[in-house]
A and B are shown apart, each in its own frame.
Chain A
Amino acid sequence: MKQNVVSTNVFMLLLFLNISLLNGQSPPGKPEIAKCRSPEKETFTCWWKPGTDGGLPTNYTLTYHREGEKLIYECPDYETGGPNSCYFSKKYTSIWTIYIITISATNKMGSSSSKPLYVDVAYIVEPDPPMNLTLEVKQPEDRNDYLLIKWLPPTVVDTRSGWLSLQYEIRLKPENAADWETHFAGQQTQFKIRSLYPGQKYLVQVHCKPDHGYWSKWSQEGSVQIPIDFTTKDTTVWIFVAILSAVICLIVVWAVALKGYSMMICIFPPVPGPKIKGFDTHLLEKGKSEELLSALGCQDFPPTSDCEDLLVEFLDVDDSEVQQLMPAHSKEYPGQGMKPTHLDNDNDSGRGSCDSPSLWSEKCEESQANPLTFHPEIIEKSENPETNIIHTWDPQSISVEGTIPYFHRDGSKSSTWPFSQPGWHNLRSSYHDITDVCKLAGGTADAPATLLDEADKDALESSNIIETGGEEKAAEQRKVGSFHPKTEQDTEWLLPQKKTPFISTKPFDYVEIHKVNKDGVLSLLPKQKENSDQTEKPEAPETSKEYAKVSRVMDHNVLVLVQDPRVQQVASFEESAKETSPSPQQNRAEKDQASFIATQSNCRLQLGGLEYLDPACFMHSSH
């Protein structure tokens, strides 16, 4: 029957539509069902939002059907729920059943319907707020005072039979406070609050929610005045705590007084000052650089494995090729190495003297950092470490001088070497140089290095350690003689000259500068390696083979070489700036002679954008 009513309505609407004239009126806009709620899971109400009414009186009709049923029904009660509502009484409510509800708006001009809403009453329960909120201050004798809050579930909800189970939440705040303090109370209908301010007036509210449903509105506020004598804690406990802590303090003070300093040491151990192994500050103060250097130089030589601050590996000195230049070197070193001021300069550019061309002749294998072992001779003369070095190098064909690999720093003179103490410069930097050269050879893609013209090796030998911006450099350069590129302050050189193998066991590859042509192109020779270990093909020194690529030229004509054959780097020369330049420099030593030691990437330090190698790393890696 209901169905008939509905169809009749629709028919009438269509009739009106066809008959009436359009006079600025329109059919109603689409209504929308706002929400449906059930207060106790036994009845429910739906409310809708009307659309535009089109300027005409509009009727709203709610129709529904249930899942699995075909019959369509109309709302049984438009009144009880208020305007724009439909109330489903118990008779019309089934739980765990989906209702499909639609609302239609109708006026003379037409009608429109909402989208259907799917409702299962089990999930739309929103109860009324709890009732009968009572607040009571309890002050038992043997316990702390507390506030007891009690309430009752909303009347219509049947929790007694277990049909609906509710959870509660209370909130309270001092009368003039802004924020509420909320507490979850579970399913119980009472709650105890302990920590309250005496003399304050509190406001309390409670609300509830079914297991899966909506929170009710907050109940009416209840207020309670907390008495002045409301004790929040047991004061006797606190008195006891105070006395106990006082006693403990006294004991501590007494113990400190007795033990005094030793205890302080125990508790606060003194922080050790920085110490440089072998570095005697007194010597430094006195200004006796010789002693200082000797103290530094020959303490611990060769450096043992736990001398971590001795950056480099130990060089294996090969006796077979002793070469040169002692005297020349010795001249230089004192001049170069002994400047305490260098310590201050942050522009220590790897002065090192790999004066042995044998350095270059050694094959540097990648990422191998063999410990360099020093021969005893080196240790002997501790007076002049530099000289010693020179001496020892030479007989053992280690000419540190010749090789001065160091890193060019653009403008900012950051120290290439981790250690820039005076006196150690020579020694250490030589190690640096050796290893660094090797590194350069091996794989330090970014390590700038400059190579010197072999032709000037003799002169160069004498100028090992060059500091950027130092006069020595100029001196060095002069000694070098005609040298391309320009010998300016920042020019740094490597002096790879001798063919004598420098390090017997070290798989370094070195290059030596064969010549510099007029275009400023350096042609580099792979060094012959005479080490039996090496498997590289020996090269005739005359054969000019260019193998290193110059990655760029820094200021003042410093060439930055990139050598690792495995690393593809494009060379560019500043002066020549010739495209052809790089190509001749192509690294032909995919294989060998010219391969530099590839540094472990983790041995690289980045300073100011340039890469440096941390020799200490090699020590570690080599051990």
Chain B
Amino acid sequence: MSGCPRGSTNCQLSLTELFNRAGLIAQKFQTAAMDLYNEFHQQYSGEQGFLSQGIVPCHTALIPSPVTKEQAQSYTNEQLLGTCLSILRSWEEPLSHVLTEARKLPRVSRVILSKIEDVEAQNMHLLQGVQKIMEQVRPGSVAENQAYSTWSGLQRLKSTSQDTRLHGFHVECRCVRRDANKVNNLLNIVKCRMDPSGGC
């Protein structure tokens, strides 16, 4: 993997290199979110129980994103990257709250906490990486305020009822797992468009 020489300040990685790195981080992000989901539902009740209570929509559902391959292929690179940025930015605050509140869960395992930390870290890294890519694809666009969703799940997480709290965690785990999967997929589409030789 080529990289910037040590100590250089203005070095710009090639787009290919940026995509390679972002792709790796996106994979880690996806895996961490999947693991978190599984761990949470292993320790607390299974997903069926939570889902049957009614499916709460994710706070990122309002961010326009494709739901089929055809739709995805109709988005431009900037649109796809923009969607990714919005989603990643939308998760910054909720994930930090999830971590804080998770520590207060009954008998919360160290694994779950470390997975949340993992997800939070990968989310941040990926956000930075995609921002760098976006700057190269469309210079100056990142300066514009990328729309992102506000989050109202904190109430659930802080609820006095444990059932509500656990349901709140389930919602966040389910939503972050989905969004990680989505971001990884959309980035891959952009990557294969811009660099078809790299394993597409």
Contact = CB atoms under 8 A, between A and B. Distances in A.
A533 interface: no
Nearest to B26: A211
Contacts of B24: none
A133 to B, nearest CB: 19
Interface string B182-200: 1011001111110010011
Given A95-B68, A165-B188, A159 B27 contact: no
Interface residues of B, number: 32
A158 B189 CA distance: 11
Contacts of A187: 199
A159 B196 CA distance: 10
Nearest to B70: A90
A95 B67 contact: yes
A371 B52 CA distance: 80
A120 interface: yes
Contacts of A96: 65, 67, 178, 181-182
A94 B61 contact: no
A118 B174 CA distance: 12
A516 interface: no
A93 interface: yes
A162 interface: yes
B47 interface: yes
B57 A160 contact: no
A97 B61 CA distance: 10
B51 A118 contact: yes
B55 A90 contact: no
Contact of B69 (A68, A100, A161, A165): A161
Contact of A97 (B27, B31, B67, B69): B67
Interface in B17-75: 27, 30-31, 34, 47-48, 51-52, 55, 57, 61, 65, 67-70, 72-73
A507 to B, nearest CB: 52
B191 A122 contact: no
B117 to A, nearest CB: 21
Contact of A118 (B47, B61, B189): B47
Contacts of B200: 159-162
Nearest to B184: A211
A240 interface: no
Contacts of A123: 181
A97 B196 CA distance: 29
B181 A212 contact: yes
A160 B192 contact: yes
A68 B67 CA distance: 14
Interface string A89-116: 0100111111010000000000000001
A554 B6 CA distance: 82
A68 B51 CA distance: 13
Contacts of A122: 178, 181-182
A354 B34 CA distance: 77
Contacts of B67: 94-97
A116 B188 contact: no
A238 interface: no
Given A93-B68, A95-B67, A122-B181, A163 B189 contact: yes
Contact of B185 (A118, A160, A163): A163
Nearest to B23: A165
Nearest to B34: A212
Contact of A98 (B31, B55, B184, B199): B55
A120 B68 CA distance: 13
Given A116-B52, A118-B47, A162 B68 contact: no
Contact of A188 (B70, B182, B199): B199
A100 B188 CA distance: 29
A349 to B, nearest CB: 58
A46 B57 CA distance: 24
Interface string A201-220: 00000000001100000000
Contacts of B70: 90
A68 B191 CA distance: 31
Nearest to A117: B48
Interface in A60-82: 67-68
A549 interface: no
A159 B184 CA distance: 14
B132 to A, nearest CB: 19
A42 interface: yes
Q: Taking each of B55, B65, B70, B189, which has the highest tally of chain A beta carbons within 10 Å of its own beta carbon?
A: B55
A162 B181 contact: no
B199 A165 contact: yes
B137 to A, nearest CB: 15
A41 interface: yes
Interface in A138-165: 158-163, 165
Given A93-B68, A96-B67, A162 B184 contact: no
Interface string A596-610: 000000000000000
Nearest to A189: B199
A165 B70 CA distance: 17
A94 B65 CA distance: 12
Contacts of A94: 67-68
A63 B34 CA distance: 28
Q: Taking each of B69, B73, B189, which has the highest tally of chain A beta carbons within 10 Å of its own beta carbon?
A: B69
Contacts of B68: 42, 90, 93-95
Nearest to B52: A116
Contacts of A211: 27, 30, 184
B177 to A, nearest CB: 9
Q: Taking each of B51, B55, B185, B193, which has the highest tally of chain A beta carbons within 10 Å of its own beta carbon?
A: B185
A41 B70 CA distance: 12
Contacts of A120: 178
Which 8 interchain pairs have the tightest Cβ spacing?
A162-B192, A162-B188, A67-B55, A162-B189, A94-B67, A118-B51, A163-B69, A187-B199
27 contacts: A42-B69, A68-B55, A90-B70, A93-B68, A94-B67, A95-B67, A95-B68, A96-B65, A96-B178, A96-B182, A98-B55, A100-B55, A116-B52, A122-B181, A122-B182, A158-B69, A160-B200, A161-B189, A161-B200, A162-B190, A162-B191, A163-B185, A165-B199, A211-B27, A212-B30, A212-B31, A212-B34
Given A42-B68, A42-B69, 6 more contacts: A67-B57, A98-B51, A98-B55, A162-B188, A162-B200, A212-B31
Interface of A: 41-42, 67-68, 90, 93-98, 100, 116, 118, 120, 122-123, 158-163, 165, 187-188, 211-212
